[in-house]
Amino acid sequence: MIKEENYLKKIADSCLTQSKKLGSSDANVVVMNSISESVNIRNKQLDGSERSDNLAITLTTYIGKKKASIASSNLNENNINKLVNRCVEATKITPEDEYNSLPEKELHYFGNKDLQLYDDTYIDNEKKIEFIKKAEEQAFKNKNIINTNGSGFSQNKSNFILANTNGFMDGYKTSQFTAYCEVVSKRNGSMERDYEFTSKRFFSDLIKPEKIGKNAAKYAVNKLNPKKIKSEKLSLIFDKRISKNFLSNFASSISSSSIAKGTTFLKNKINNQIFNKQINIVDRGDILKGNGSKYFDSEGIKIDNLELVKDGILKDYLVDSYNGKKIDRKSNGRSSGTTNLYFKKGDVSFNDLIKSEKKLLYINETIGRGANIITGDYSVGASGIMIENGEFAYPVSEITIAGNFHEMFKNIILADDLEFKYSTNSPTMLISGMTVGGK
Amino acid sequence: MSEFFKNSEIELSKAEKIVSETLKNCDDGELYLEDTKSETIVLDDNKIKSSDYSTDLGYGFRAVTGDIIAYSHSNEISEKSLLNSSQNLKSSLKNKRGTYNYEIKNTNQKFYSNIDPVEEKSLKSKIDILREINNYARSKDSSVKQVTANFIGEKKNVEILRAGGQLLNDERPLVRFNVSIMVEKFGKKETGVYGVGGRQSYDVYLNDNNWKKVCDEAFRIATTNLDSKPSPAGEMKVVLGPGWPAILIHEAVGHGLEGDFNRKKTSVFHDLVGQKVASESVTIIDDGTLDNRRGSLNIDDEGTPTEKTVLIENGILKNFMQDRLNARLMNTKSTGNGRRESYKHIIMPRMRNTIMLNGNNTQDEMIKSVNKGIFAVSFGGGQVDITSGKFVFNCTEAYEINNGKIGSPLKGATLIGDGPSSLKEILMVGNDMMLDPGIGTCGKAGQGVPVGVGQPSLLIDKMTVGGTQI
């Protein structure tokens, strides 16, 4: 069982009291417990089971504008006292930073809405195995599936308390159920792998195992016997698995830390047209059961709903209180990053999108971290499927795709198939004018 | 006598009894205890941005029978917690029977000394050096707009208690020092990053102003990239520089030679032992025994002494890298490659220091032989798909080669290829083998472990280069 609120509060409280006693002017502490249980299977047989029980504290102490932190998983009282002492001592010798401080009280979250982030359902290991076996069984019905890379089911429950010496003390339980199935296909000497995955706050919302297995098999088989193509400029269609990554790149580019340091190509671009007019980007933390939903951020600050991009125009940054002070903006509750970040859906159907040009390349996998948010340069390895006259023609692999976010962002066209599968989500996306590197 | 049991709520003899009893019908398993402390100090944007100290104490209890692994870990080292884990392991492996192999060879080998990088220098002295580094880097040129520098020091003590009472331990220091410099000129911004590290004292990197060399290198890379032009796209010859570019060997070949992927037959190499997989001049080893290197270990995380394992010798595939489980199932012995990120993670076969040995060519010969191609000096991250063998790398420093001469620096160049084919396309192997500066962290199944790489310059016949210019 995960630790209850009172247990966590007691530890948090004693850390804060001890910090004050030892001379810190302010302090912030997080006490977290999470228990995760998972099973892995391979070729429909149990491969392993894992149980992990993590309990840890993270304490930050301030003396005026000086700050230092400690973290530990050893919560023996004696050890905690030693650590608090070490933290305060480290604070004393750390140089002052004028922007260091607890957040303003007025920004603290307080409320009592229920975002439905915790499902008390307990799935024991036998049920986990049964669930994920069904997925593999379904995958093996496809005759080109010869092996699995492993499939798994995990259940994660956690509870935490965040407290600071300005009177904030709150926390909540969350749960996450995740299942994945990864299979290997083979035909005429070509071997490929692919997967399907589902992850939800509530067990009952997971994609059904049969569908997971069926999709994994379909994706792996679709990649078989790929061709290599010649280098050329092409319009690319990005599968939803990939298109969401551009949102993550965008989010890093508008984080207040990147803006404050100037290490982003989107500095000073507020109220500028950076996407075309059809593009709208939203980040909201209050979606019921949302994978990215949160009540407050890691500083205890309430999370505003943000329209980051409206009609293609950049309207806001992701601001935490430290970096916010550097750029003269109040925190909007993003010290732990984005929440549920998504592109609002476009108005073209998937079928119309793939028919929009005679020749399009559908990208369903990229490898490598080729996004540079300082320059906006983008270059990654990729594989996908060539689309000719609106029909999926043949798989393509071992290519690179490259461009620059400045132009790429302006050339995005979105389909209307947005779904909330991850915490960051995008519809299928077309970007014209990209460079494909091949033979 | 074990440190872990001195301060915990359970005696060694009691823990031993639980371990022996739990594992009596299993093929393998152990109680792994870990006590880590680490310190990260970051200077960023002219400020000491963070000074973090952390300690992590916990155990991981593993039972293995056949090819099934049951694992349970916790922060709480107590009888109650161990019994809880024991119950969990037994219920996962019920109806399974194995034969426990008690034998693990003891060793006295030591490839690093028992220093404590977190405590050996005061926090204040480390902060002072970081500020000095910041001033030095910013004074290099007015184009320097941002400097980030950090120290990461760690001391990890591990102890392995096996059924029958065998106790194995290791104390592992690890440091890393990193500098990142952003320069801006004529509205163009570029970054250069350089770092060093290993299982030794910070002094090695800080004495004699050695840290200045790290700043100089980061500045040189950033400045070089200011003059870069867009990379070409298409298939061409590639010369790889010595040292760090060996992460290409790590990704393209190394992962495919790890025991688990081969036992499961998901690696393209699984049925190629004894066969020619590369040109004759190629010999690749994985070595856990190099002094003070980031990827070195006295014993692996199962207690097996590490060794120098020959993977490919003169082009012939010789061995895979094994942990105990995969070795047992493949009828061979562990090569001391059983590793884990921490007590929170299960053991897998992982690389240590993966090195391609010297050949006979010079880098000059390689460059001269290329009509049109690229010279890749350093990479950022890389990634591989083990099943298809495809890998990709982003160059952080690369140049075009025209008619046998090195030309302009290139930006945004990505290399893509597949492991088995690239091995066969190595045309020349240099005589200038270098180890990397000690910065590699390898990720596999969500676990990061420190690794090293090394290689001489290499000429590869054809690889696909990704860029924006056709």
- Crossing angle of helices A77-93 and B123-139, in 10° steps, is 40
Contact B235, B462 (CB under 8 A): yes
Q: ipTM of this model? A: 0.84
Integer Cα distance of B397 and B243 in angstroms: 13
Token pair 């003169």: residue:
B314
Under 8 Å CB-to-CB from B40, ≥6 apart: which residues? B50, B51, B52, B150, B151, B152
Distance CA(A284)–CA(A307), nearest Å, equals 8
One pLDDT digit (tens) per residue for chain A, 439 residues? 889 999 999 999 999 999 999 999 999 999 999 999 999 999 999 999 999 999 999 999 999 999 999 999 988 888 899 999 999 999 999 999 999 999 999 999 998 889 999 999 999 999 999 999 999 999 999 999 999 989 999 999 999 999 999 999 999 999 999 999 999 999 998 889 999 999 999 999 999 999 999 999 999 999 999 998 999 999 999 999 999 999 999 999 999 999 999 999 999 999 999 999 999 999 999 999 999 999 999 999 999 999 999 999 999 999 999 999 999 999 999 999 999 999 999 999 999 999 999 999 999 999 887 899 999 999 999 999 999 999 999 999 989 999 999 999 999 999 999 999 999 999 999 999 999 999 8
Distance CA B276, CA B280 (A): 8
Are B132 and B207 within 8 A, CB to CB?
A: no
Hey, is the C-beta of B132 within 8 angstroms of any chain A C-beta?
Answer: no
Confidence class of residue B388 from pLDDT cuts 50, 70 and 90? confident
Question: To the nearest whole angstrom, how far is the Cα of A307 from the nearest Cα of chain B?
Answer: 28
User: Closest partner residue to B233 among A52, A377, A435, by Cβ?
Assistant: A435
**With left for phi above 0 and alpha for psi between -120 and 50, is residue B376 left, alpha or beta?**
beta
Reported pTM = 0.89
In chain A, which residues have their Cβ closer than 8 Å to the Cβ of B124?
Answer: 93
H or E element, residue A7: helix A5-21
What does DSSP assign to residue B232?
B
The single-letter code of the amino acid at B41 is: I
Residue of A90, A193, A401 lying closest to B123 (CB–CB): A90
Token pair of A42 as six digits: 């391979």
pLDDT score of B1: 42
- Name the residue in chain A with its Cα closest to that of B411: A377
Which of these ranges, A9-13, B2-6, B448-452, has the smallest mean pLDDT?
B2-6
B391 and A51 in contact by Cβ < 8 A? no
How far does Cα B154 stand from its chain's mean position? 15
Shortest CA gap A146–chain B (Å): 10
How many beta-carbon pairs below 8 A join chains A and B?
243
CA dihedral A307, A308, A310, A312 (to 10 degrees): -160
Nearest to A439 among B190, B234, B413 (CB): B234
Contact A72, A80 (CB under 8 A): yes
Task: Tell me A4's DSSP state.
Answer: P
- Buried b / exposed e over B440-452, threshold 16 CB at 10 Å, is bebebeebebbbb
Chain A closest-CA separation from residue B239 CA (Å)? 18
Instruction: State whether A397 and B123 contact (CB < 8 Å).
Output: no
Residues A429/A247, Cβ–Cβ less than 8 Å? no
**For B234, phi and psi rounded to 5 degrees?**
130, 180
Would strands B372-384 and B390-402 be described as parallel, antiparallel, or unpaired?
Answer: antiparallel
CA distance B185 to chain A (A): 13
Residue to mutate among B7, B32, B45, with most A CBs inside 10 A, is: B45
pLDDT of amino acid B2: 59
Each residue of B293-318: pLDDT tens digit? 999 999 999 999 999 999 999 999 99
φ, ψ of residue A113 in degrees (nearest 5):
-75, 160
Please check whether residue B34 is in contact with residue B8, taking contact to mean a CB–CB distance below 8 angstroms: no
Using a CB–CB cutoff of 8 Å, tell me whether B80 touches chain A. Answer: no
Please count the CA atoms within 13 angstroms of the CA of A399 that sit on its side-chain side: 32
* Mean pLDDT, range B75-104, rounded to an integer: 89
Whether chain B has a CB inside 8 Å of the CB on A398: the answer is yes
Residues of B in contact with A374 (CB under 8 A): 182, 189-191
Residue B215's closest CA among B245, B194, B243, B191? B194
Give residues 183 to 222 of A whose Cβ lies within 8 Å of B.
184, 191-193
Contact A116, A288 (CB under 8 A): yes
